[in-house]
């Protein structure tokens, strides 16, 4: 293994890349488009009214909700500034629920609401707001204040001197939970780590063989490992840039929260190492460029969607979750989530070890099966 | 001096088909050797075995004293190969390509100087995918020379090129020889082989059917030289009788076979002495191409008659 050879080949790869507008588009512009597209689809704030997610815990003994709680919610809805949407989630899990669904405002009506109203016992509603989304918080709070005052005055207290019965406290959403965009960034970095090397290496492996370029290289002192290593280094460099662009776009355009730690770097190195080798392996076992593309797609597509790229693995059905755990990209993305969101170092290290072991095996297999001269 | 290339009993089998079937030849250093044969005869297979790109089934092969398959790495430092239809990275320029090869081989060749040698310096900064067929082939040649090789393998280097580009490649081949390099050439153009090489081997169906210098091959397998004059059958009969030479009259022409270089003079003297009318004489001799076509044709006919594969 000579570093001079790797460096010489690296220059060739990078020049080839920079002179290819399509390749440049896919590595530098496409990430921004992806982030924007998915960011917009999933964080689209309803224009006009604020969606208020409500847990109504005041159940009537006969089933359904108590008339007072229903009246309260319908009064809220009638303000037209909020649009009430009742969900059945336990109040304990509500904050997490709001965070994982990227909803910024929620309200809990406690059990015994109607009773308390009738007995004039103070009852406290809980309003969840996201300090990042101050305008929604303000609108929701205003609506609730108004409706609570109306209930205090009209529905319950015939006299103006009654102490208020319906009150509310506010709690923050998002302090300990994460928004969709936060998961989306590691997911899409994983997407880039997978697709960029896989598609191009599968193509290179078969077309260079067809064009006799491997034959050409086999007549030089360049070895197959040096050749593969220079490709890996190139995709590592590309991945670092792509990841930077995605993180930047996510933070600037959608206010994503990510922890930028050095722990991310090993994944941005080992990830491309794995998938460059895997692409080379797939391209080597195929006999024709067509079958190479097919093998590449069969490997790539399930991983592209089921490894936590666009959707969180934990939100998938149990069968698919089990399937996701045999996909190498799952460990790359999970590891980046652990580093960037949860600061869970030990789990990140476990993920890294899995990816590294896989990468070494695939690299050695690729070197063994990738021949550039014929028997 | 040991041979640059020494081959004996070389066999390459694909399944039951023998693409190369027990051939042997030797190339002295500093000479141009042409390897001829129709398509599918086993030329490229043999060449690739010599270059260390293909494993042989049996036989002995020594290139610069090395076994090309097991000592490929060492061999590749000392040989240069220009394949048929040379392809390279599309977005890379000839100069960058040479700088790349220079780093890989660890040599200190000047890229522009090398491009000048193959007459490609005006395209030094053009990307490979914009080059013409001849220019691509010239880059292949330049790259093969980056490591100052002792043997150059050129596999049909002029196929598909226009006459000017072909002459440019010939000039480079002559220079290579002048510089003392051994050249192993495969070609379809027989006049190219006849003009450039000291030694020729003709391969057909995996076997060598003729070998030697072009002149030797023509002498051995070609028809004898002939003298043709315009004249009557009476003249033919006169020559037959007086010289004992094989003379044939056809379409107002008389053709006499020459067996010795002095024959031409004797025939002319006899014609003059006959007093019969005659005019415009010419002599003709087979070219390597005539021999090639006849040898390959004869083998194919024989194969057809004996019921072998066409």
Q: Which residue has the higher pLDDT, A28 or B13?
A: B13
pLDDT, average across residues A255-279 = 89
The predicted-structure confidence for B5-37, as pLDDT tens digits, reads as follows: 999 999 999 888 889 999 999 999 999 999 988
A88, A57 Cβ separation under 8 angstroms: no
Gap between the Cα atoms of B103 and B220, Å rounded: 49
CB contact under 8 A, B83 and A7: no
Gap between the Cα atoms of A6 and A230, Å rounded: 5
Size of interface A-B (CB pairs under 8 A): 69
Q: Which residues in chain B have their CB less than 8 angstroms from residue A19's CB?
A: 91, 127
Residues 260..279 of B with a Cβ closer than 8 Å to A: which?
none
pLDDT, average across residues B57-66 = 94
Q: Which residues in chain A have their CB less than 8 angstroms from residue B79's CB?
A: 219
Mean pLDDT (chain B, rounded): 86
Q: Which residues in chain A have their CB less than 8 angstroms from residue B130's CB?
A: none
Question: What number of other Cβ atoms are within 10 A of residue A314's Cβ?
Answer: 10
Residue B105 touches partner A, C-beta closer than 8 Å = yes
List where CATH 3.40.1710.10 sits in chain A. Answer: 50-172
A246, A29 Cβ separation under 8 angstroms: no
pLDDT band at B67 (very low <50, low <70, confident <90, very high): very high
B224-284 CATH choice from 2.40.128, 2.20.25, 3.40.50, 3.30.70 = 3.30.70
Q: Sketch the domain layout of chain B as residue ranges.
A: 5-213, 224-284
The predicted-structure confidence for B112-171, as pLDDT tens digits, reads as follows: 999 998 889 999 999 999 999 889 988 999 999 999 999 999 988 888 778 888 888 888
Among A7, A213, A220, select the one facing B101 at the smallest CB separation.
A220
Q: State both tokens at A126.
A: 């809980």
- Residues in CB range of A170: below 8 A, 6 or more apart: A126, A127, A128, A129, A137, A141
Distance from CA of A339 to the nearest CA of B (A): 39
Residue A21 touches partner B, C-beta closer than 8 Å = no
Gap between the Cα atoms of B206 and B13, Å rounded: 10
Q: Of A355, A313, A363, A365, nearest to A331 (Cα)?
A: A355
Fold of A50-172: abc type-2 transporter like fold (3.40.1710)
Among B83, B92, B103, select the one facing A212 at the smallest CB separation.
B83
Identify from B15, B76, B81, B91 which residue to disrupt to test chain A contact, counting A C-beta atoms within 10 A and taking the largest count.
B91
Q: Is A144 helix (H, G, I), strand (E, B) or coil?
A: helix
Q: Of B123, B104, B105, nearest to B115 (Cα)?
A: B123
H or E stretch covering A97: helix A94-100
The predicted-structure confidence for A94-103, as pLDDT tens digits, reads as follows: 877 777 666 6
Does residue B110 have a pLDDT over 90?
A: yes
CB contact under 8 A, B91 and A212: no
Residues 208..237 of A with a Cβ closer than 8 Å to B: which?
211-213, 215-216, 218-222
B5-213 CATH choice from 3.80.10.10, 3.40.50.300, 1.10.760.10, 3.30.420.40 = 3.40.50.300
Gap between the Cα atoms of A112 and A107, Å rounded: 15
pTM of the model: 0.72
């Amino acid at each position: 293994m000579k570093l001079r050879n790797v460096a010489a080949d690296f220059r060739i790869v990078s020049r080839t890349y920079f002179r290819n507008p399509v390749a440049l588009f896919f590595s530098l512009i496409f990430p921004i488009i992806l982030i924007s597209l998915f960011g917009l689809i999933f964080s689209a704030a309803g224009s006009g009214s604020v969606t208020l997610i409500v847990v109504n815990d005041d159940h009537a003994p006969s089933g359904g909700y108590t008339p007072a709680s229903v009246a309260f919610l319908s009064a809220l809805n009638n303000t037209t500034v909020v649009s009430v949407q009742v969900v059945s989630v336990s109040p304990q899990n509500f904050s997490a629920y709001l965070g994982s669904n990227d909803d910024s405002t929620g309200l809990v009506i406690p059990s015994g609401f109607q009773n308390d109203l009738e007995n004039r016992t103070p009852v406290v509603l809980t309003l969840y707001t996201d300090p990042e989304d101050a305008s929604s918080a303000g609108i929701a709070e205003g609506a609730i204040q108004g409706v609570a005052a109306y209930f205090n005055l009209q529905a319950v207290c015939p006299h103006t001197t009654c102490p208020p019965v319906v009150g509310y406290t506010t709690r923050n959403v998002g302090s300990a939970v994460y928004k969709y965009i936060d998961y989306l960034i590691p997911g899409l970095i994983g997407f880039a780590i997978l697709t960029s090397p896989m598609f191009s290496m599968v193509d290179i492996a078969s077309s260079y063989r067809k064009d006799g370029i491997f034959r050409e290289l086999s007549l030089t002192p360049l070895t197959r490992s040096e050749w593969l290593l220079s490709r890996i280094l190139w995709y590592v460099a590309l991945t670092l840039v792509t990841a930077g662009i995605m993180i930047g776009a996510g933070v600037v355009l959608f206010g994503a929260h990510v922890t930028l730690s050095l722990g991310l770097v090993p994944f941005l190195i080992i990830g491309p190492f794995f998938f460059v080798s895997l692409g080379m392996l797939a391209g080597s076992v195929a006999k024709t460029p067509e079958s190479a593309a097919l093998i590449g797609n069969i490997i790539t597509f399930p991983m592209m969607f089921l490894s936590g790229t666009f959707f969180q693995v934990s939100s998938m059905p149990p069968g698919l979750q089990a399937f996701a755990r045999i996909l190498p990209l799952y460990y790359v993305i999970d590891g980046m989530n652990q580093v960037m969101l949860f600061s869970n170092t030990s789990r990140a290290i476990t993920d890294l070890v899995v990816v590294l072991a896989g990468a070494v095996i695939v690299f050695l297999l690729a070197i063994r099966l990738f021949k550039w001269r014929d028997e | 001096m040991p041979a640059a290339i020494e081959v004996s009993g070389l066999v390459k089998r694909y399944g039951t088909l023998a693409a190369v079937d027990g051939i042997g030849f030797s190339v002295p250093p500093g000479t141009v050797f042409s390897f001829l044969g129709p398509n599918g005869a086993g030329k490229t297979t043999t060449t690739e075995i010599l270059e260390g790109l293909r494993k042989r089934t049996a036989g002995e092969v020594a290139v610069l004293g090395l076994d090309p398959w097991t000592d490929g790495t060492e061999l590749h430092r000392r040989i240069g190969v220009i394949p048929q239809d040379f392809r390279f990275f599309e977005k890379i320029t000839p100069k960058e390509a040479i700088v790349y090869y220079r780093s890989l081989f660890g040599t200190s060749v000047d890229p522009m100087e090398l491009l000048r040698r193959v007459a490609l310096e005006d395209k030094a900064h053009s990307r490979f995918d914009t080059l013409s067929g001849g220019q691509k082939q010239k880059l292949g040649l330049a790259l093969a020379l980056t490591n100052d090789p002792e043997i150059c393998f050129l596999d049909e280097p002029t196929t598909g090129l226009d006459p000017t580009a072909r002459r440019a490649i010939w000039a480079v081949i002559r220079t290579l020889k002048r510089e003392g390099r051994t050249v192993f050439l495969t070609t379809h153009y027989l006049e190219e082989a006849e003009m450039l090489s000291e030694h020729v081997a003709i391969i057909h169906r995996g076997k060598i059917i003729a070998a030697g210098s072009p002149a030797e091959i023509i002498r051995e397998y070609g028809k004898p030289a002939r003298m043709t004059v315009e004249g009557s059958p009476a003249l033919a009969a006169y020559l037959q009788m007086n010289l004992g030479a094989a003379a044939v009259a056809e379409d107002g022409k008389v053709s006499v076979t020459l067996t010795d270089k002095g024959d031409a003079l004797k025939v002319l003297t006899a014609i003059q002495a006959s007093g019969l009318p005659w005019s415009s004489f010419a002599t003709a001799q087979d070219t390597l191409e005539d021999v090639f076509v006849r040898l390959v044709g004869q083998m194919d006919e024989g194969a057809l008659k004996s019921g072998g594969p066409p």
